[in-house]
């Protein structure tokens, strides 16, 4: 099913279908690709729209890359899936999605057959704690590491950015912001929504200052980082006042180092 067919179909039918992607022959051929020279992740603090998807597509090096949306964190939200296809519509990409709430009677391909057969994977925002638990139960966490090692470009915003780090701040639990342990592909910690949610900045400073959390990267909404392996290669933003910071402790004090961002559209 192509994205135009998806958008014209019923929401219930689309979500029940589970996987929407390129033809099987193309995907199976891609699954055997050799490891790339660099492992790539593109994150944003919030808002992974068309500009970020376009940049991620460019990072694949493919003229028409296969990009897969993994909406585990938002509970396979139908609206989120529709928004994904709308954001991809202006781009020369083969857009697909893979739900996590599946039944073997409806899905005949394994997680590895799906996730390792694309050029890029974008993870949704939502509840990071639930996302991590579900991924671990299914073995998706290990397959995402394989994808990273193969050079499949990974990305996302909010829970879709936090998931790649060792740890970070989250709103996944009741009553107050807390911490969550994640995949650890990117070393250190992460704080998304740095400018958008008032409690994020003081909690991040407190945790890093006390040594409860490792130093790391804080991203405003609409701002993000492109990593190769664990090296920051480029900082980007889709609006002028969206910033990225490296937060650490220097001489016993919490220090924010702003990382200049390039504008992308």
Residue 234's CATH number: 3.40.50.880
CB 255 within 8 A of CB 249: yes
pLDDT of residue 137: 97
* Of 149 and 171, more confident: 149
pLDDT of residue 220: 97
| 193 has catalytic annotation | yes
The 8-class DSSP code of residue 154 comes to E
Which of 210, 173, 174, 171 is CA-nearest to residue 191?
171
Count: domains in the chain: 1
Catalytic residue among 158, 161, 172, 189: 158
> For 21-56, what is each residue's pLDDT tens digit?
444 334 333 443 434 469 999 999 999 999 999 999
What's the whole-number mean pLDDT along residues 86-115? 96
Residue 206: which domain range? 3-263
Catalytic residue among 97, 190, 193, 205: 193
> For 162-213, what is each residue's pLDDT tens digit?
999 999 999 899 998 889 999 999 999 999 999 998 899 999 999 999 999 9
Q: Is 24 helix (H, G, I), strand (E, B) or coil?
A: helix
Pair of tokens at residue 131: 């996302």
> For 236-265, what is each residue's pLDDT tens digit?
999 999 999 999 999 999 999 999 999 999
CB 178 within 8 A of CB 170: yes
Please list the residues that pair with 246 across neighbouring strands.
217, 257
| 158 has catalytic annotation | yes
């Amino acid at each position: 099913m192509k994205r135009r067919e998806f958008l014209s179909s019923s929401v219930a039918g689309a979500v029940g279908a589970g996987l929407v992607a390129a033809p099987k022959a193309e995907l199976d051929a891609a699954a055997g690709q050799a490891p790339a020279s660099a492992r790539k992740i593109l994150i944003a603090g919030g808002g992974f729209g068309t500009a970020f998807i376009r940049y991620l597509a460019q990072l694949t090096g493919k003229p028409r890359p296969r990009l897969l949306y993994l909406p585990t964190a938002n509970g396979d939200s139908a609206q989120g899936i529709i928004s994904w296809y709308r954001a991809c519509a202006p781009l020369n990409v083969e857009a697909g999605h893979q739900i996590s709430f599946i039944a073997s009677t409806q899905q005949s391909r394994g997680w590895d057959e799906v996730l390792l057969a694309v050029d890029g994977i974008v993870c949704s925002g939502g509840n990071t704690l639930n996302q991590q638990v579900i991924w671990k139960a299914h073995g998706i966490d290990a397959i995402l590491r394989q994808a990273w090692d193969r050079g499949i470009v990974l990305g996302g915003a909010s829970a879709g950015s936090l998931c790649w780090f060792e740890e970070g701040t989250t709103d996944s639990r009741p009553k107050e912001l807390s911490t969550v342990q994640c995949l650890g592909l990117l070393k250190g910690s992460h704080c998304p929504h740095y400018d958008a949610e008032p409690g994020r900045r003081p909690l991040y400073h407190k945790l890093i200052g006390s040594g409860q959390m490792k130093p790391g990267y804080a991203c405003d909404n609409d701002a993000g980082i492109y990593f190769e392996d664990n090296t920051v290669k480029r900082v980007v933003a889709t609006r002028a006042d969206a910033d990225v910071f490296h937060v650490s402790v220097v001489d016993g004090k919490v220090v924010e180092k702003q990382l200049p961002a390039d504008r992308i559209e």
